[in-house]
Amino acid sequence: MTGAQANPIAELAKLSAFLRRDLLTRLSYRTAILADLFSLFSQALIFYYVSKVVNPARIPNSGGQRTTYIAYVTVGIAVSGLLAIGLARLVNVIRQEQFMGTLESLMVTPTTASVILLGSVVYDLIYVPFRTVIFLVIVSIGFNVSFVASGYVPALVILAAFMPFVWGIGSIASACVLTFRRGTGVLGFATFVLTFTSGAYFPVSLFPSWVGQLAKINPIAVTITGMREQLIGGAGWDDALTVLAKLIPMSGITLLLGLLAFRLAMRRERRLGTLGLY
């Protein structure tokens, strides 16, 4: 933005308006909320039975503790699901505003592009981690998977540190959508590769050794491993801090790149006058 700078506090206060708007919109689709909860349960049910045929001896230890496949995969599903849903919502939110014809209505208000982007996803940034916690609770209660109670808080902190990464990737995807209209395919493929090789569903040891090396700098793998160590092994705050020291810079850089990409995409749209086109 050029000219007079917007008051950051006043700008951030607008986020509650976006939150209310999206909460009211989602509440108007009650069936969709129930369907989402059902899909969480059905996903857990499938992996519960898959775990019955997986030899626990082949599952790597987490935080020094032996575990079952259902406990192992639950954390992977929780994190990769958070990434998939968060990303889908982040990407679609701008596209949806374009389709609905509301993007230009938002852009003619005295609101910065960053706040419009953040506001458009603030509901999901809160809802998606909440949904992840619900998933963990369903598995824990419904399928008798016991997580270490002392690991809940460190695991949630790790999850919170992962959210800027999701937001950053989502912002890059949004910028692609704004610029290319259908620019999410490559990003979707990249995210799949990162998730598939993160150890979410299978131990990384099954892959070639270089995949294991890459997993050390893959934020998804770092998050999943860190959360498993806390929830399954109760590794404690020292291990959590080690994970956070790796994860926070990765998330921070991704978020900055994402916001920069979105800003450049918006500037290009303003120059070309094609913001409302889809």
Partner 1 sequence: MLSGVDLRVGAGRISALLGPNGAGKTTFLRIVTGLLLPESGSVRVAGIDVAADPMGARRHIGVVPSGDRTFYMRISGLENLAFFGRLYGLSRREALARAEQRLADVGLADAGAQRAGLYSHGMQKRLSMARALLMNPELLVVDEATDGLDPEGARRIQDLVRGITDTGAAVVWTTQRLDEIRGFADAVTVLDRGRTTFAGTVEDLMLQATSRAYFVRLRGVGDAPGDAELQRANEALGALGTLSRAGGDREHVRLDLTEGAVLGEALAAVSGAGLTVLDVAQQRSELEQSFLRLTTPRT
Residues that bind partner 1 (CB under 8 A): 1-4, 6, 10, 13-14, 16-18, 20-21, 24-25, 28-29, 100-102, 104-112, 270-273, 275-276
Measured from the CB atom, the residue of 100 and 193 that comes closer to partner 1 is 100
Rounded least distance, CB 122 to partner 1, Å: 13
**How far, in Å, CA of 78 to CA of 40, rounded?**
10
Please say which residue, 13 or 153, places its beta carbon nearer to partner 1.
Answer: 13
Closest contact distance (angstroms) between CB of 190 and partner 1 is: 31
**In the complex, least distance from residue 215 CB atom to partner 1, rounded to whole angstroms:** 41
Query: Would you say 188 or 276 has its CB closer to partner 1?
Result: 276
Q: How far is the CB of 36 from partner 1 (least distance, A)?
A: 17
Residue 110 or 141: the one with the smaller Cβ distance to partner 1 is 110
Q: How far is the CB of 262 from partner 1 (least distance, A)?
A: 16
Do 203 and 58 form a contact (C-beta atoms < 8 A)?
Answer: yes
> Please, what is the minimum distance in Å from the beta carbon of residue 228 to partner 1?
39
Q: Which is nearer to partner 1, 28 or 42 (CB)?
A: 28
Nearer to partner 1, 28 or 146 (CB): 28
Amino acid present at 249: P
The 3-class secondary structure across the chain, one letter per residue, is CCCCCCCHHHHHHCHHHHHHHHHHHHHCCHHHHHHHHHHHHHHHHHHHHHHHCCCHHHCCCECCECCCHHHHHHHHHHHHHHHHHHHHHHHHHHHHHHHHCCHHHHHCCCCCHHHHHHHHHHHHHHHHHHHHHHHHHHHHHHCCCCCCHHHHHHHHHHHHHHHHHHHHHHHHHHHHHHHHCCCCHHHHHHHHHHHHCCCCCCCHHHCCHHHHHHHCCCHHHHHHHHHHHHHCCCCCHHHHHHHHHHHHHHHHHHHHHHHHHHHHHHHHHHHHCCCCCC
Rank residues 113 and 247 by Cβ distance to partner 1 and give the closer one.
113
Question: Closest approach of Cβ 35 to partner 1, in Å?
Answer: 17
